[in-house]
Structure 1
Amino acid sequence: MEAVPISGDARGPRARLTVPVLAFGGTLMAVTQTVVVPLLPDLPRLTGSSPGAVSWLVTATLLSGAVLTPVLGRAGDMYGKRRVLLMALGLMAGGSVLCALTSDIGLLIAARALQGAAAAVVPLSISILRDELPPGRTGSAVALMSSTVGIGAALGLPLAALVVQYADWHVMFWATAVLSVIGLLLVRWVVRESPVRSPGRFDTWGALGLAAGLVCLLLAVSQGGQWGWGSGPVLGLFAGAVVVLSLWWPMQLRAKQPLVDLRLAVGRRVALPHVAALFTGFAFYANSLVTAQLVQAPAASGYGLDLSIVATGLCLLPNAVILLVLSPVSARVSTARGPRITLAVGTVFMAVGYVVRIIDSRELWMIMVGAAIVATGTTFAYSALPTLILRAVPVEQTASANGVNVLMRTIGQSVSSAAVAAVLVRHTSVVEGVQVPTLGSYQLAFALAGTVALVACVIALAIPSDTAPDGERPIAGHGGSAQETALEGT
């Protein structure tokens, strides 16, 4: 089906709120996923459960978000992006309310799984922006929307730490519940339903197969450090992921309306941005993960600053400002030079930031400078990835394709968490009777993340060149056929 995007001013004042309302939803999604982190050390005592059980509050959100992002993206393409976006926000609100009402670890894990559905907010919103905005405004809006993941993550930690320190921990979930309801009502009031649809029947078996494969893969990655990388359960999960996804792939190729269009996805214009998203997600996540641990390390270690969780969050807060301020700059670079160049520049910045972290991670101001440089690179890289996808896929597959791209970022972040944890655990020393990572282990983690960022740069430069703005090249439903756009991706 073809549809021409409506100008941002064509529907009155409410239309001009589309971008900030969708950006609010994306930021809130990232905040909701992050706020539980300051609670983790105290939750075993607060819930009467084990540390292993508490870790599932993070794992459940990761798994449900990874599984539901491509599924809800495809559903949005078929049944209406606004409709599915409202459902995702509703699940996030419901999960927050359930967290606020209980201290039972089982219910908390189930509630966090509901919150994970909100991971689909960003790809759905990006797709809505493509459908609704004129080409001249799409680039900056998409850049901001993609950056909300980092903005929310940087905001969530200090806000949650303040709540944990000065109020009952349930207050944090009441706050996210109220904000989720506000976001839902704003989307319902401001955002119109896109007329663009992908006809056909939903690929239920494809969704179940992908879900099973991803659960096996991500569960093995996220729990490998606790269960042992060579343990039977972890090896069995990895084997299960290989078997399930090996069967799922040919099934998708045979399907008339597959959940993921693999023929389009394996073309260089789509596959390479997905691979770049995997490596960029790895490099991005190591920044906040390692920084938070390093500045909280005891001063007796010789490098640690012994900061509180609130002070740690405030150290990461400037990164949110950087992501917000630089997202329109990155969009202008993509318009002038093409998103592949923006992605390459961003990943180089990330690598440079990690070099700074290796040189000096003892002084707070140097730590913040290095983290800020990485955040700058993240802004450019994350803004470029959805733009690359938008230029390579038909308009009726925008949400599902961006859902897969967000999934690849999520997998990269999961692998980063496991890899960094493995490095820090392997190189420790005893400080005041406690095992803490050495400064060398942090530097090794920075070197690993910087190397991965450079690999992402090489992948970015291998993406076929396309520096023309969206408005100057045919996009399915906007002056070109879906078939023509699909052929460009191969």
Structure 2
Amino acid sequence: MTHTTTDEPRREASGAVVPVLAFAGIVVAVMQTLLVPVIKDLPQLLHTAPSNATWVLTSTLLSGAVATPIMGRLGDLYGKRRMLIASLAVMVIGAMVSALTSQLLVMIAGRTLQGFAMGAIPLGIGLMRDMLPRERLGSAMALMSSSIGVGGGLALPAAALVAQHTNWHALFYGAAGLGVLAIALTLLTVPESPMRAAGSFDLPGALGLSAGLVLLLLPITKGSDWGWSSATTLGLFVASVVVLLLWGLYELRAEAPLVDLRTTARPAVLFTNLASIMVGVAFYVVSLVLPQLLQLPKATGYGLGQSMVVAGLCVAPLGLTMMFTAPVYARLSARYGPKTTLIIGLLIIAIGYGGGLGLMQAAWQTILTSVILGAGIGLAYSSLPALIVGAVPASETGAANGLNTLMRSIGTSVSSAVIGMVLANTAHTVGGMAIPTMHGFRVSFLIATGAVAAGLLLALFLPKAGRPAQHVRLRAGSEEDAAVLEEAEEVLRGFRGRVLDATGAPVPRAKVTLIDHRGQQAGSAVSDEAGHYRLAVPAQGAYVLAARALGHGPLASAATHSGEERAVELDLSLPGEAVSV
């Protein structure tokens, strides 16, 4: 058996940590959005058929989907900052490979390496949880989660400007430069988290998940080219189901699984992940539809006749509004909880798409639609990591958020495939070119509205939770704050109580570690100024709570949890002898 101990989690971080981690997320989004302005020109640029050129986008999507949960787990095991830098470094290498070639296969290899940057989002969220004080955590995670939209919104006009006035390879040089800057800033300002998960890396689980995801996402992204009823498409779907089922059976029996499926099956995690797919669908539809509508010539009768750059600027408010909703999310979530904030965000998205059906006649109308959708998507995206973080042990933050980011990626993949098929099947052919129709655009918006409705239904099934722990600040001896703590923790499945010294006085900043029956760490916490601690348990069973603090002897207390959705009260009294820890 392995037993991993950790130093006390760092809770004091410089003010630069949050913006630097958010910048890393923006770099990832820029990498994803780089080629959107030149999608239609890729076959000519790479001297290949349109069906082959789409692999330049598909390869990034597939590698990002595979890398996201794997990098999250590696971060939990070996250090989140270390893996964040590794993800960005692989992206930089991939960007340089793409910058130096116009050969299709080499370009696909470079874009595959760039997909590894997707791991930066869950790793950044995990670092924030480990280092930031509770009152800053909500808005910080919201900013990190929204960075993927912010980067996409900013990259569209910037990439269009570069592509329109310089060689398109300059896009990759720019992405590599941003990646190097993100690595340098991370090394200078972001400390490594001391939190480590117990166990070893699950290589068979990683290979099984990778194979299952590739088999699933390939037919989703290429189905419209191959034919949805073709033997290749259907065969890959069947193969993906078989592989993922076998992978799930293996993970349930593995001692240190890549993904703890029992935790993932908990309603708070399961419904959040399913809702994430729907948010991913909703996010990508507007990114696909509005730029095309804006750039179509006015001679079509519905196109708005704007240049590539102007079209990018009209859609940019989508990402900018997502960034500005982060502090709004923090206030809403502190008052009503992330579940309510997710529901509010989904309702705003529904209003944006519903109103957008009648707001397609002028450029200013597309800007208004982008702003409304950006506000809703920003609130929804910001709520997702808070819901995940509140439902899993600290040692699983990276892997759990990696899986959640993967669910969003699956949503965008499904959105890309379905909307691409809708626009292709409703297009008019003029002079040998397929021109999207207004009918196709409106059907796409209706599909997005349907996805939002499904997301709302899933969000309603999320368990009701009290005020999030990260927004609760207690003062020692305050009866009012003790009542707030009781309200915030009444649904916790785990242990809670106070760490006290030999005289019964509270011990602040004591490290409390939860150890399961196998001797492995299942979670950890640091007591607040009033000595309060809280620890979630992954399952019922026998545990040991080990507590230590500077100036006190260590304590190990055995306890059992029935697995019910309640907290077991357990105060921990540390010996008084001064001990160096």
Query: Scaled by the length of structure 1, what TM-score is found?
Result: 0.95
- 1: CA distance, partners of 2:564 / 2:85: 32
- 2: CA distance, partners of 1:187 / 1:485: 36
- 1: CA distance, partners of 2:124 / 2:219: 30
Task: Give the greater-gyration-radius structure (CA).
Answer: 2
Note the alpha carbon deviations across 1:309-332, whole angstroms, 9 max, x for none: 211111111222211111111121
User: What does residue range 457-472 of structure 1 map to in structure 2 within 5 Å?
Assistant: 457-471=456-470, 472=472
- 1: CA distance, partners of 2:254 / 2:11: 36
Report how far residue 417 of structure 1 moved: 0.9
Relative contact order higher in (CA < 8 Å, ≥ 6 apart): 1
Kindly tell me: are residues 111 and 206 of structure 1, through their superposed partners in 2, closer, same or farther at Cα, counting changes over 3 Å? Answer: same
Question: In the alignment, does 2:28 pair up with 1:29?
Answer: yes
Partner in structure 2 of residue 126 of structure 1: 125
Partner in structure 2 of residue 197 of structure 1: 196
Partner in structure 2 of residue 483 of structure 1: 537
Partner in structure 1 of residue 43 of structure 2: 44
- 2: CA distance, partners of 1:244 / 1:398: 25
User: What does residue range 210-229 of structure 1 map to in structure 2 within 5 Å?
Assistant: 210-229=209-228
Conserved 8 A contact 1:270-1:392: yes
Conserved 8 A contact 1:267-1:489: no
Partner in structure 1 of residue 10 of structure 2: 6
Partner in structure 2 of residue 335 of structure 1: 334
Q: What is the identity, as a one-letter code, of the residue corresponding to 2:434? A: Q
- 2: CA distance, partners of 1:3 / 1:134: 17
Task: Please give the root-mean-square deviation of Cα atoms over the aligned residues, in Å.
Answer: 1.8
Partner in structure 1 of residue 175 of structure 2: 176
Note the alpha carbon deviations across 1:78-136, whole angstroms, 9 max, x for none: 11111111100100111111111222211111010000000010000000000000000
- 2: CA distance, partners of 1:45 / 1:435: 17
Partner in structure 1 of residue 314 of structure 2: 315
Partner in structure 2 of residue 369 of structure 1: 368
Number of equivalences: 485
| Range 226-235 or range 129-138, more displaced | 226-235
Conserved 8 A contact 2:9-2:194: no
Secondary structure class of the residue paired with 1:346 = helix
User: What does residue range 386-405 of structure 1 map to in structure 2 within 5 Å?
Assistant: 386-405=385-404
Secondary structure class of the residue paired with 1:192 = coil
Conserved 8 A contact 1:32-1:176: yes
| Range 306-315 or range 425-434, more displaced | 425-434
Q: What is the identity, as a one-letter code, of the residue corresponding to 2:172? A: F
- 2: CA distance, partners of 1:204 / 1:326: 39
Higher strand share: 2
Report how far residue 65 of structure 1 moved: 0.2
Note the alpha carbon deviations across 1:403-459, whole angstroms, 9 max, x for none: 000000000111011111122122233456643222122111111101211211121
Q: What is the identity, as a one-letter code, of the residue corresponding to 2:254? A: A
Conserved 8 A contact 1:43-1:54: yes
User: What does residue range 170-319 of structure 1 map to in structure 2 within 5 Å?
Assistant: 170-319=169-318
Higher helix share: 1
Note the alpha carbon deviations across 1:23-48, whole angstroms, 9 max, x for none: 11000010011101222222322332
Gaps of 5+ in 2: 473-488, 495-522, 526-532, 541-562, 567-581
Conserved 8 A contact 2:9-2:130: yes
Gaps of 5+ in 1: 10-14
- 2: CA distance, partners of 1:288 / 1:264: 33
Q: What is the identity, as a one-letter code, of the residue corresponding to 1:229? A: W
| Range 465-474 or range 68-77, more displaced | 465-474
Q: What is the identity, as a one-letter code, of the residue corresponding to 1:227? A: W
Kindly tell me: are residues 426 and 45 of structure 1, through their superposed partners in 2, closer, same or farther at Cα, counting changes over 3 Å? Answer: closer
Note the alpha carbon deviations across 1:174-233, whole angstroms, 9 max, x for none: 111111111111111111111111111111101000000000100110000111111121
Partner in structure 2 of residue 12 of structure 1: none
Secondary structure class of the residue paired with 2:40 = coil
Secondary structure class of the residue paired with 1:305 = coil
- 1: CA distance, partners of 2:434 / 2:454: 33
Partner in structure 1 of residue 417 of structure 2: 418
Q: What is the identity, as a one-letter code, of the residue corresponding to 2:524? A: G
Secondary structure class of the residue paired with 1:40 = helix
- 2: CA distance, partners of 1:214 / 1:346: 28
Note the alpha carbon deviations across 1:64-88, whole angstroms, 9 max, x for none: 0000100110111111111111100
Conserved 8 A contact 2:350-2:449: yes
- 2: CA distance, partners of 1:112 / 1:303: 35
- 1: CA distance, partners of 2:421 / 2:147: 29
Kindly tell me: are residues 270 and 290 of structure 1, through their superposed partners in 2, closer, same or farther at Cα, counting changes over 3 Å? Answer: same
Report how far residue 485 of structure 1 moved: 8.3
Secondary structure class of the residue paired with 1:466 = coil
| Range 290-299 or range 407-416, more displaced | 290-299
Q: What is the identity, as a one-letter code, of the residue corresponding to 2:189? A: V
Partner in structure 2 of residue 53 of structure 1: 52
Report how far residue 4 of structure 1 moved: 4.7
Conserved 8 A contact 1:32-1:115: yes
Q: What is the identity, as a one-letter code, of the residue corresponding to 2:535? A: S
Kindly tell me: are residues 197 and 363 of structure 1, through their superposed partners in 2, closer, same or farther at Cα, counting changes over 3 Å? Answer: same
Secondary structure class of the residue paired with 2:228 = coil
- 2: CA distance, partners of 1:122 / 1:314: 25
Percent sequence identity is 43
- 2: CA distance, partners of 1:480 / 1:2: 17
Report how far residue 361 of structure 1 moved: 1.2
| Range 341-350 or range 448-457, more displaced | 448-457
- 2: CA distance, partners of 1:488 / 1:455: 29
Kindly tell me: are residues 319 and 3 of structure 1, through their superposed partners in 2, closer, same or farther at Cα, counting changes over 3 Å? Answer: farther
Conserved 8 A contact 2:332-2:341: yes
Conserved 8 A contact 1:338-1:465: no
Query: Scaled by the length of structure 2, what TM-score is found?
Result: 0.81
Kindly tell me: are residues 395 and 452 of structure 1, through their superposed partners in 2, closer, same or farther at Cα, counting changes over 3 Å? Answer: same
- 2: CA distance, partners of 1:188 / 1:119: 19
- 2: CA distance, partners of 1:161 / 1:345: 33
